[in-house]
Amino acid sequence: MAISFLQELLISTLVLSVPLYFYFKSSTRSSKNNTVLPTNWPIVGILPSLIANIHNLHGYVAHVLAASGQSFRAHGPAGTGMRFFVTCDPANVRHIFTTNQANFPKGAEFAEIFDVMRGSFFTVDGEPVRRQRAKIQTVLGGPRLLARMAASCRDKVEKALLPLFTDMARMGTPFDLQDVVARFVFDVTATPVFGVDPGLLSRIGMPMPPVDAAVAMDTVMEVALFRHTVPASCWKAMRWLRVGPERKLAAAHAVLRGFITEMMEKRIKKSREEDVQKGAAPAVDIVSSYINDPEYCEENGGGLLRATLINYMIAGRDTIGTTLPWVFYNLAKSPHAVSIIRDELSPIASRKATGADTMMIFEPEETKPLVYLTAALYESLRLYPPGPIERKTVVAGDVLPSGHEVRAGDTVFISLHAMGRMEGVWGKDCLEYNPGRWLPETGEEDGVGKAKRLRYVPSHKFLAFNSGPRMCLGKDIALMQLKTVVAAVVWNFDVEVVEGQSVEPKLSCILQIKNGLVVKLKKRQM
């Protein structure tokens, strides 16, 4: 009976949606210079608006927020109880993330949406998240682990990424930079987590290992966006029936769990080999801090440990792997910014004795104080945040600084992608890539690159690393990895984006480029 009712509900919704879809599409075409605000239609709610703009969902939401004063309401089909409040107003963000953050948890449905990580620090609220964050601070604050992570990134750049790029530049062959970066970042993330390098990135002429686990992580984020936008009863029924996106997600979950098992087995084997060596140093990896913790090993048969390790992998991989292609895309369109970054790197490079054919490597401690390089990264994160949306649940009714009321049970979506495109937040040039906006005026007057510090921008205005009590604990690590890669590539190569391709975000909870980023490299002559 339940299945029959669901089928009738879906069919009825689709039948009602079709004429409204074409009406809405017609209205959009006739108003090319005017943003059409989403209509909360009877019975079907905002569904026709989503259908008409699903191909450009993040961009559409940004246009609607700009036209509606940075906040708007919406509701789903009748009977679903889906009530949404969408905002990118920094004052609202500060209230939601800091001032009254206890009233805006992620909520139980968020944990269900990301069920492969259920129970880990990404999905929990209250005391569990405070306890787990304290553990993460201890783990990521260890000097030996930090040194291992920096060395892992630096060595992978020198021994894998730059040699591969040198081959590609010599051949002059266009290639998908996003795919290469994804492999690189997967290795760089997994190595300090498990103490084992998966080896997904290889040189030309060597077989590239399969990327099943990376593809599975992409699937988790793509299907998560689907779960965010349809009634929970709908996707749960699909999960039970193993149909549609849920069938694909179930397969992805199996791949991720298999990957964790495989990496743990490799780690155990490596540890045994090291044990037979006299004086072998103890393992320096993230899993060592969890594997003997009763909370992670015994609860749910080790399920929390698996969820936590998947969480670490997704958090590390998605932040860097999603950001780097957009950084190179922006820099390829901004030769002035590239020139300033090279000027900033030049004094460091001059102290290094290298041959004409030797690739220049910049150590993490050398790039840490570089202000303009940091500004260039922040500017890309402003326009293309790796996580374009945040979701919160309302516990008790509240009035936001914008004057909007929210009710208990409402779902709040915060669009980071839209916030970076608001003229009221960033000025009339909000759509332009301009690292100078992050520097003091005196630095801009002196040619930008001479600035000694960044301009202060509060986290509720620049939300790429979250805000309030849930501020990203891996921010400094992420910036270290980004700088290590960007400095080496920008100094050694010219990056050209191949013309004619459509560069737009994928429909996902992470802001990957939909069809990859095809580029050509040219080795710099110095």
Give residue limits of the domains in the chain.
Answer: 1-99+391-419, 100-385+420-523
Q: What is the DSSP string of 96-120?
A: IIIITGGGS---HHHHHHTGGGTTS
CATH superfamily of 100-385+420-523: Cytochrome P450 (1.10.630.10)
| Binding site, annotated residues for heme | 472
- The position carrying tokens 């700009």 is 66
Average pLDDT, the chain: 87
Tens digits of residue pLDDT in 411-466: 999 999 999 999 999 999 999 999 999 998 754 444 444 667 899 999 999 999 99
430: its two tokens: 């909000």
Mean pLDDT along residues 378-385: 98
229 compared with 136, residue with greater pLDDT: 136
Average pLDDT over residues 477-489: 97
pLDDT score recorded for residue 207: 63
Q: What is the pLDDT of residue 231?
A: 86
Least confident span in 93-107, 148-162, 304-318, 445-459? 445-459
Neighbour order of strands in the sheet with 83-87: 71-75, 83-87, 411-415, 389-393
194/186 Cα distance (integer angstroms):
12
**E strands present in 145-294:** 175-176
| CA atoms within 13 Å, Cβ hemisphere of 142 | 17
Q: Could you give the C-alpha distances from 193 to 140, 185, 198, 286, 314, in angstroms and in order?
A: 11, 12, 11, 5, 11
Q: Residue 383 above 90 pLDDT?
A: yes
C-alpha to C-alpha distance for 32 and 29, rounded to whole angstroms: 6
pLDDT for the residue 49? 78
| Token pair of 234 as six digits | 């709908």
DSSP H or E stretch at residue 389: strand 389-393
Q: Is the per-residue pLDDT at 297 higher than 90?
A: no
Contact of 516 with 179, CB cutoff 8 Å:
yes
* Model pLDDT, residue 353: 66
Digit-coded pLDDT (tens) for 136-181: 999 999 999 999 999 999 999 999 999 999 999 999 999 999 999 9
Digit-coded pLDDT (tens) for 258-276: 999 999 888 888 777 666 5
Is 26's pLDDT higher than 50? Answer: no
Separation CA 495–CA 519 (nearest Å): 7
Query: For the residues 64-69, what does the mean pLDDT come to?
Result: 93
**Angle between helices 245-275 and 232-241 in degrees, nearest 10:** 70
Give the other-Cβ count within 10 Å of 444's Cβ: 16
Given a cut of 80, whether residue 194 has pLDDT beyond it is: yes
Arithmetic mean of pLDDT, 33-51: 69
User: How confident is residue 6, by pLDDT bands cut at 50, 70 and 90?
Assistant: very low
Q: How many CB atoms lie within 10 A of CB 102?
A: 11
User: What is the distance between the alpha carbons of residues 60 and 73, in angstroms, rounded to a whole number?
Assistant: 15
Element (H, E) at 266: helix 245-275
First to last CA, the chain: 73
Question: In a 3-state reduction of DSSP, which class is residue 399?
Answer: strand
Q: Other C-beta atoms within 10 Å of 275: how many?
A: 9
The pair of three-digit structure tokens given for residue 497, joined into one six-digit string? 């984006």
**DSSP assignment letter at 513:** B
The pLDDT, as a whole number, for residue 41 is 74
Lowest mean pLDDT among 116-130, 306-320, 432-446: 432-446
Give the torsion through C-alpha atoms of 191, 193, 194, 197, to 10 deg. Answer: -10
* % of residues, the chain, pLDDT over 90: 69
Question: Which segments are annotated as binding site?
Answer: 472
